[in-house]
Amino acid sequence: MSQVVRFNDVVKLNKKELIQLGASHAQEILNEGFEDATVLTVQAKKAREYIQAFLDGLEYKTREQLTQDPNGWEDIYGASLSLGSTGDRLAYLTDPKYSQLSIALKQRKEILDLAFRSDEMFDSDGELVPKIKIKTHSKETLIVKL
């Protein structure tokens, strides 16, 4: 690889620049025939897991600091930190009508799934169950088990 990435250089980049740098370095490594792409993929996935665990380990102390001084965390290497909330999640299923409709919807979904794989199917009311269209076709994914 013609350029070594130094941590001090990386922290100065914004998100868009980090993404561009990562993509260009991956292409550069592959173009130079440095190593098998599968080996680099496994190494990168392992590095990502390490970084995520590292971030998780820092989260409690970071939250503590932000709670003590919620306005004092701007422009740290061009980034800012703040506390956010995911919002309250309502317990819709505690409403009997909602629960009943939810169960009926799940049952109808199961019937539609079966009808999709069948030549012809009728529901409990004797009505022909339509073959529904595919909303999104499946895509091939790369699975790396560590």
Q: Looking at the structure, tell me whether residues 64 and 105 fall in a common domain.
A: no
| Residue 50 within a domain | yes
Predicted pLDDT of residue 32: 86
Q: Looking at the structure, tell me whether residues 46 and 97 fall in a common domain.
A: no
Phi-psi domain of 78 (left: phi exceeds 0; alpha: psi -120 through 50; beta: other): left
Predicted pLDDT of residue 103: 97
Q: Which residues contact 120 (CB under 8 A, 6 or more apart)?
A: 128
> Is 122 in a helix, a strand, or coil?
strand
| Residue 96 within a domain | yes
| Residue 73 within a domain | no
Range of the domain at 103: 86-146
Q: Looking at the structure, tell me whether residues 91 and 126 fall in a common domain.
A: yes
| Residue 78 within a domain | no
| Residue 115 within a domain | yes
Cα–Cα separations (whole angstroms), residue 131 to 116, 120, 127, 142: 5, 8, 13, 30
pTM of the prediction?
Answer: 0.67
Q: Looking at the structure, tell me whether residues 93 and 140 fall in a common domain.
A: yes
| Residue 77 within a domain | no
Give the separation between CA 146 and CA 138, rounded to whole angstroms: 24
Q: Looking at the structure, tell me whether residues 53 and 98 fall in a common domain.
A: no
Predicted pLDDT of residue 25: 87
- Looking up tokens 């999709």 gives 116
Question: Tens-digit pLDDT profile for the chain (146 aa)?
Answer: 445 566 667 888 889 999 999 999 888 888 887 768 888 899 999 999 999 999 999 999 988 988 888 776 777 888 888 888 889 999 999 999 999 999 999 999 999 999 999 988 998 899 999 999 999 999 998 888 88
Q: How many structural domains are present in the chain?
A: 2
Q: Looking at the structure, tell me whether residues 90 and 137 fall in a common domain.
A: yes
| Residue 92 within a domain | yes
| Residue 13 within a domain | yes
